[in-house]
Amino acid sequence: MKKIVLLSFILLLLTSCATDNPVSITGSPTRTRSLVSPFQAVPGEDAVPYPQPVSVLFQMENAPRAMYEPNDGVYLAGWLASHTAKRGFNLQAGRNHAVYVHEMYLCDEFPHMWLLECMAALATPLIILHPPVDADCPVPIGDRIEYFARRLGLFQMPMFVVYHPPCNRSMVVSAAEYTLIFRYARALFLAHAPQAAFVWLAPDTTVTPRNAFFPGHDAVDWVGVSLSAVRGQNGLDNVIDSFAPFYHNFQAHHPVMVLPLGVSHFSRLDYTYRITEASDEISRLYRALLGFPRVGLVAYADAFGLTYASRLLGHNTPTDDFAVSIESELMEAYAAAVANPLFLSMLEREALPLAHGQAADGTSTQPAPRWVRSPNFGYFYDGAFYVDVETLNSLNIATPRGTVAIGDRSFVEMDRLEAVFCRDRYVILLMGNSIRN
């Protein structure tokens, strides 16, 4: 009977490559050395002239989900210009978007129409809420936050709220003041709009949970960070290389959203359009992000109205153009990139995560294992996949005899382990070695 259950589980994984939110383990190796850029696509199962790195995921049991965190996949989201129709953008992309983004100040007019547009498009709102400018907002900030939370609560719909996103270049309050008001706002939203998941947006990818402006794990449902492939003298920034350490710092605690993602196709450094290069990079980034199983939302930066988003992507200078909807080749690349079924067009609408070990009907249940990304890469080479021995050691998995050296490190062929390659995510899944949280 046990063999039948195990076989069914493996067949399910091979069919869907199902993933859940991961939790990292104490003592995971932190260094990674690769022979080539660690986020190239695996070309398939044909021989290649050099080893190509592949992300390795392992299972973690008893790991609860955060609010609205998907069981498997990544919410597809868009950050559009105010004049861009959501349904028109969906048609161009060939996919509905699960989430749309709206940026505003706390004392701006309440966005009734925009929220109704989201409802009409069957999309979930994500509101980036900046603190008020004193001259334009005579109402005390606490009263204004409560008013806004009460108005949102009347909609009785799932949503995300990014409150007072910090920015290293423009913060005018101290860390103590910032965390105090963030936590106060969180309490007001819990009381008046409990259907709103609270998001803390990091100022950059160097931030860790020890950052003075991080308000605490108990005050945050999701964390977010922007990734902008801005063009410099040496070409586009490799944003995934900088994202990986940020992800590993937060994956044990919260799902991660990329808010926003942007790829430059025009730079005023040389006033040159590079449409094809940008198209290739969009495809590469969306595929690479699937190798991070707790990335739960990616919002592409099509265009912006307020200056904060432009500063996030353009490093304070308006030198790059990130929009995809104005260029047919870019839009085709975007549509192809998000066609993967792991990009989700609908929110999983559990208003609050279930109590650990309890199903919706109150009966006892055991959470399914979740997937965690190892800091160490596996490799694809000469038609075979290999797993780093250091990854196996960190999980207390016995290393089979006959290891293979790649560079100055030892690897084991995947076929000698209880593991499979998931083509949808381009990852190696280590199975049958669950780590209990």
Q: 55-94, pLDDT tens digit by residue? A: 999 988 777 889 999 988 999 999 998 778 898 999 999 9
What's the residue count for the chain?
Answer: 437
pTM of structure: 0.83
Mean of pLDDT over the chain:
81
Please, which residues have CB within 8 angstroms of residue 273's CB and are 6 or more apart in sequence? 265, 266
Q: Give the bridge partners for 339, in sequence order.
A: none
pLDDT bin (cut points 50, 70, 90) of residue 298 is very high
Question: Cα(57)–Cα(378) distance, rounded to whole angstroms?
Answer: 10
Give the residue, 52 or 48, on which the prediction is more confident.
52
pLDDT at 234 over 80: no
For residues 35 and 51, is the Cβ–Cβ distance under 8 A? yes
Q: Which helix H or strand E contains 261, and what residues bound it?
A: strand 256-263
Question: Cα(130)–Cα(107) distance, rounded to whole angstroms?
Answer: 9
Q: Give the bridge partners for 103, in sequence order.
A: 128
**Which pLDDT does position 305 carry in this prediction?**
42
pLDDT at 23 over 70: no
For residues 141 and 131, is the Cβ–Cβ distance under 8 A? yes
User: What CATH architecture applies to the domain 74-344?
Assistant: Alpha-Beta Barrel (3.20)
For residues 76 and 399, is the Cβ–Cβ distance under 8 A? no
pLDDT at 249 over 90: yes
Percent of the chain topping pLDDT 70:
77
**Which pLDDT does position 64 carry in this prediction?**
83
- pLDDT digits over 303-362, tens only? 654 344 455 554 445 567 888 998 999 999 999 999 999 999 999 865 344 433 444 454
pLDDT bin (cut points 50, 70, 90) of residue 20 is very low
**Which pLDDT does position 311 carry in this prediction?**
52
**Which pLDDT does position 388 carry in this prediction?**
95
- Residue spans of the domains in the chain: they are 16-64+357-436, 74-344
Q: 100-104, 214-218, 270-274, 291-295: which has the minimum mean pLDDT?
A: 270-274
**Which pLDDT does position 233 carry in this prediction?**
74
Between the alpha carbon of residue 427 and those of residues 54, 201, 298, the distances in Å are 6, 27, 19
